């Protein structure tokens, strides 16, 4: 884990404050794998202007930290911190200006591992009194590959990272693309996906171990059994046929679980020209 004073420090933006559009009694947190922020910026900007979520976790930026569009986000009224790398991965947290600039920013995991992939950033949002992390779990490619072994190792490291730095009794949100469907209800074809890196029992167990830290699935808290997906492949008309997976999650600790009021996936963001293959998940909490 690194801090903003190091060479790999996250980029930050200092926005001007627009009029608040959210209810004073609620706040909204979104998570969205944009599959290249550079390619998707023309969609992200109007989406932010239209929905005005209080906090946004972005994944798969596919750009170096220095190239992160701080000024554009500042113009939209968002503070931003990012942890990127060339071509692959990359994560960011956006916070509306009225909540104050993110503090206590950390990138990666401070466990001595040589892994340099930009897959984790966390920060405290002062005005909301909570800590937020944006998480991009490795995909794993295939269960017989080194990449799947890396995925499982990354998940074990993340579990230990939570134990070192966080408490299940503090207000904590972990939003991101976890590349795991926790249950068969989160997959359009459970039998066909069972032995893949998304649904394999080892991956599901690794995610369950993370949840056992003291986390709750915010969407399932309010929608315990609905078929809701966050990802659809670009191929084979997967989106219009609703051949989807729920692999993007917003986990919360107990202090936020009972304040969770609503959760939805914005399918409109998956439509139109050059969309990401993921749609944003938005969760509303009581202040």
45 contacts 71 by C-beta, under 8 angstroms: no
Catalytic residue among 54, 78, 148, 177: 177
Helix (H, G, I), strand (E, B) or coil at 110: coil
* Direct distance between the N- and C-terminal alpha carbons of the chain, in angstroms, rounded to an integer: 29
Of 55, 57, 214, 59, whose CA–CA distance to 129 is shortest? 55
Is 177 catalytic? The answer is yes
Evaluate whether 231 touches 247 at the Cβ level (below 8 Å).
Answer: yes
Provide CB contacts within 8 A for 175, sequence distance 6+. 29, 30, 31, 57, 132, 133, 134, 135, 249, 250, 251, 281
Given the residues 78, 136, 178, 229, select the one marked as catalytic.
136
d(C-alpha 74, C-alpha 94), whole Å:
10
Burial class (CB in 10 A: 0-12, 13-18, 19+), 144: exposed
- In whole angstroms, give the CA distance from residue 99 to residue 212: 30
Q: Where in the sequence numbering do the catalytic residues fall?
A: 136, 177
């Amino acid at each position: 884990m690194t801090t903003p004073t190091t060479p790999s420090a996250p980029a930050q933006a200092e926005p001007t404050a627009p009029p608040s559009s959210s209810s004073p009694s609620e706040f909204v947190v979104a998570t969205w794998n944009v599959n290249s922020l550079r390619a998707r910026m023309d969609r992200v900007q109007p989406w932010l202007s239209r929905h005005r979520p209080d906090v946004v976790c972005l994944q798969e930026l596919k750009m170096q930290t220095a190239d992160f569009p701080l000024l554009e986000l500042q113009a939209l009224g968002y503070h931003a911190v990012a942890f990127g790398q060339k071509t692959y991965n990359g994560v960011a947290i956006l916070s509306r200006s009225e909540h104050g600039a993110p503090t206590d920013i950390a990138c990666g995991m401070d466990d001595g591992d040589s892994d340099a992939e930009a897959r984790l950033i966390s920060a405290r949002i002062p005005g909301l009194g909570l800590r937020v992390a944006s998480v991009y779990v490795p995909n794993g490619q295939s269960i017989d590959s080194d990449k799947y072994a890396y995925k499982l190792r990354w998940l074990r490291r993340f579990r230990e990272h939570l134990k070192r730095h966080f408490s299940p009794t503090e207000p904590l949100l972990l939003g991101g693309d976890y590349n795991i469907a926790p249950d068969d209800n989160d997959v359009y074809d459970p039998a066909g996906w069972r032995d893949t890196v998304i649904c394999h029992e080892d991956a599901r167990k690794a995610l369950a171990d993370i949840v056992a830290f003291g986390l709750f699935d915010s969407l399932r808290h309010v929608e315990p059994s609905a078929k809701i997906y966050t990802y659809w492949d670009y191929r084979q008309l997967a989106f219009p046929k609703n051949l989807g997976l729920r692999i993007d999650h917003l986990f919360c600790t107990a202090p936020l679980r009972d304040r969770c009021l609503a959760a939805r996936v914005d399918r409109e963001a998956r439509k139109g020209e050059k969309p990401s293959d993921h749609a944003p998940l938005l969760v509303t909490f009581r202040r």
